[in-house]
Structure 1
């Protein structure tokens, strides 16, 4: 008999926690999963990826309806309230919970619902909702507790007109105007969502440009389309104070500006959910953002304690978290191969959406790599013209001499789907990673995927002009 109740205890049932638990269970390990919410799925299913992207989808449908001439003749022009839109978007959450619950049951994973904290390196105690406590021991513990919005102490988040990216999904009124502080991925996504509902949005960015990790051309396109959609984008701004009253919120900026709106959405950073774990009891400490440091195999500085998902910071994507969960399970089960998630594509669900993989023009220029650019604009793609999704472009960066694909950047409808065609070619070894693939392969017509063929011809024609 083992001295431990379980081989592995996983704390958190989001993408990284669920995939870690299931992968360990499939390898014959006795596995327990602890979740604070009454339902599994983590922040991804309940507050983050799924509800916000479902909300975006509903708003996109509303915009299409309003802009389609056929429906404008017979359409219902009543103003939709934000709670009505939220209700439509939330219908997918129970489906996600049912799916995740079935996955855990099928793999015979013991689920505990409550707040987990360490008693020692191999002992975790769970406090249930009714105050009862359950203690379990395990050879290995995986921390997959995720993150939550950062809340500065001088902003009153208890005020009914002040929200963060979690509580905005519970907003019970429809503001006419909204200030969004923080222009990262979440801030930009919500700016396009609320602007799509006809709400006046001020987007405050503390940096010089939007999402500076993107290719400059894509960042510029996002900025243009947000502004065209009615968003007032303000760069290089930091808040001095926030005051909320019964009728609205006033934010005073260090630049001297004062802005007022019906509500404030705070989207400036996230904090790892580690403060309730009693990490001091095992000699483990989080950084100032509540995040845990790990090595290339997701090991913390404490033996047999691992961490995955948003709690370890970058890239803080659900897609990467799934891979991290499976990767840490390989390490725990002794399959210690290359497990660290890398080459993860970005997926930014603004309107229109953005996805990219590989190097940007700025990076290639600084590295003095001889590259060329191939572009295809969706307004020239037949499928885009048919569907009305004619805003956006596909951009391929490739080496002038070897024709190796170095980066792919997509802005427009279904960008996060389109990127994976290029990703598949970029992952090939040696000469198989070559832009010629797109001109020597027959694509269905009409499709959005055909943009790869157009972009490849565009880029190769530039190379030919250089050699003649």
Structure 2
């Protein structure tokens, strides 16, 4: 039996970041991960490969449809899907190799295999070369999440599948049905629509991007429709099956839909199967998420959990922040995550990003607020880029002017949102943001301008 100070089950953004920070703090750290490459879902079959395809597909789409406006006349633009997938795979390989390098640099031990808890302070690893038992003062569950399953859908991993399969289609489907209008469905739906697929998005709710600001959702839907995506909202999917090599999707109150491919993107579920949680008494809630206290301690002393497996915002950067907070608490007695300031982004085009409270939540809670909206149509830089769709919206408390939420849709919104996040982390007011001198002409001026609108003194609108 091998002993370490800390053993982390899961090598994704929560697990590997926690491991590196723990090693920096002097812990003897080991990570247990069953995959042949580190990085978890995010680096292998999630965030990183999807962004590679989003970027590549947009470059293709831009070359076909937008470059003429800049005086660039490309020749006949054709798609080499195999080369695009090769680019994606190279990006994944570089990122996962980078994590392996960081493990060596920080002297972190990696056990490839499936971890299972035996008792507090002890677990076994079932790997390709047999079973090994490990002991540790503290064990961290950081196994992430898996695509949620939809009742009645007969997955075959080929015609009907999840985001994992949608990242590696060998050819562009003529008709792709996406079940779920969240960020995963819209991102991957956008990829294949740009490459030539007819894309139909089915959503049970009456809006896209549930959980984000509803104004963002409404305006985003209109833009996606202009890009060719078809939406059927308020649609309940009863089931899906494969018939003669094609998918048949049954929906309530309407004729079945036939398609070449079906992507089921209805959320994610905690990845806890086979961990031995019940055997050691680790409590889970009704949806299967591991229950933890404010310091990520489970119901069993010495066993902790972070990331998607504990629920909340199922985002890679949230998991990383929790991993750092946990190991710093174990080392120094203090570690915290500010859950009120966790930005999120959807990497469609235009990008969509959000941090803090939505306007819907403020209305429901009866919080008095002021609102400042600045459209990218009024941005000199956005005009120069010929990319003027979208806006920045700032919500500030009506009495204190403290920034409560910022929501953006437009070029580089996923980057711009961090200016708002920093301001909110330090308790800034909208006036504070409005008074900061920004470089001209830049996209980030839209954030300053929205703050000016919230304060009632807009300059450029």
TM-score, normalising length from structure 2?
0.93
Check the 8 A contact 1:396/1:408 in 2, yes or no: yes
Equivalent position of 2:63 in the other structure: 65
Q: Superposed, which structure 2 residues align to 1:309-324 within 5 Å?
A: 309-324=307-322
Instruction: Write the distance in 2 (CA, Å) between the matches of 1:223 and 1:41.
Output: 32
Check whether the contact 1:240–1:253 (CA below 8 A) recurs between aligned residues.
Answer: yes
Report the equivalent of 2:422: 424
Query: What CA deviation, in whole Å up to 9, does each residue of 1:27-72 have, x standing for no partner?
Result: 2221111111111111110011111111111112112212210576
Q: Which of residues 437, 440, 443 is equivalent to 2:435?
A: 440
Partner deviation per Cα, 1:419-456 (whole Å, 9 max, x = no partner)? 11122222224xxx222234422211111011123223
| 2:458 corresponds to 1:460 | no
Q: Give distance in 2, aligned partners of 1:26 and 1:463.
A: 47
Q: How many pairs align? A: 457
Residues 161, 108 of structure 1: alpha-carbon distance in 2 compared, 3 angstrom cutoff: same
Q: Secondary structure at the match of 1:175?
A: coil
Asked if the contact 2:368/2:398 (under 8 Å) is kept, the reply is yes
The residue that corresponds to 1:21 in the other structure is 19
Query: What is the alpha-carbon distance in structure 2 between the residues aligned to residue 373 and residue 151 of structure 1?
Result: 39
Q: Which residue is 1:109 aligned to?
A: 108
Q: Is contact 1:296–1:340 with CA below 8 Å preserved after alignment?
A: no
Q: Is the partner of 1:137 in helix, strand or coil?
A: strand
How many Å separate the matches in 1 of 2:127 and 2:391? 51
Aligned equivalents of 1:397 and 1:311: distance in 2? 31
Structure 2 distance, partners of 1:391, 1:459, is: 20
Structure 1 residue runs without a partner (length 5+): none
Distance in 1, matches of 2:433 and 2:221, equals 30
Tell me, yes or no, if the aligned pair for 1:372 and 1:462 is still in contact at 8 Å: no
Q: Residues of 2 paired with 1:14 and 1:270: CA distance?
A: 15
Partner secondary structure for residue 257 of structure 2: strand
Q: Distance in 2 between matches of 1:144 and 1:40?
A: 13
Q: 1:216 to 1:160 in 2, by over 3 A?
A: closer
Q: Secondary structure at the match of 2:456?
A: helix
Give how far 1:342 is off.
4.2
Aligned to 1:75: 75
Alignment of 1:69-218 (within 5 A): 69=68, 73-78=73-78, 80=79, 82-130=81-129, 132-152=130-150, 154-158=152-156, 160-218=158-216
Asked if 1 retains the 8 angstrom alpha-carbon contact of 2:32 and 2:113, the reply is: yes
SS in 2 for 1:74: coil
Q: Describe how 1:370-381 pairs up with structure 2 within 5 A.
A: 370-381=368-379
Say if 1:65 and 1:71, in contact at 8 Å, map to a contact too.
Answer: no
Pair 1:244–1:84, CA change in 2 (3 A) = farther
Tell which deviates more after alignment, 364-373 or 307-316: 364-373
1:152 and 1:443 map into 2 onto residues whose CA distance is 47
Q: Contact (CA 8 Å) 2:430, 2:452: kept in 1 or not? A: no
Asked if structure 1 preserves the Cα contact closer than 8 Å seen for 2:341 and 2:424, the reply is no
Q: Confirm or deny: 8 A CA contact 1:324 1:341 kept in the other structure.
A: no
Separation in 1, partners of 2:162, 2:298: 30
Query: How far off its partner does 1:401 sit?
Result: 3.6
Distance 1:71 1:291 in 2: 54
Q: Tell me whether 288-297 or 403-412 shows the greater mean CA deviation.
A: 288-297
Give the secondary structure class of the aligned counterpart of 1:461. Answer: coil
Shift of 1:339: 4.2
Q: Which structure 2 residues correspond to residues 30-45 of structure 1 after superposition, within 5 A? A: 30-45=28-43
1:284 to 274, 282, 291: 282
Matched residue of 2:392: which SS? strand
Q: CA RMSD in A?
A: 2.1
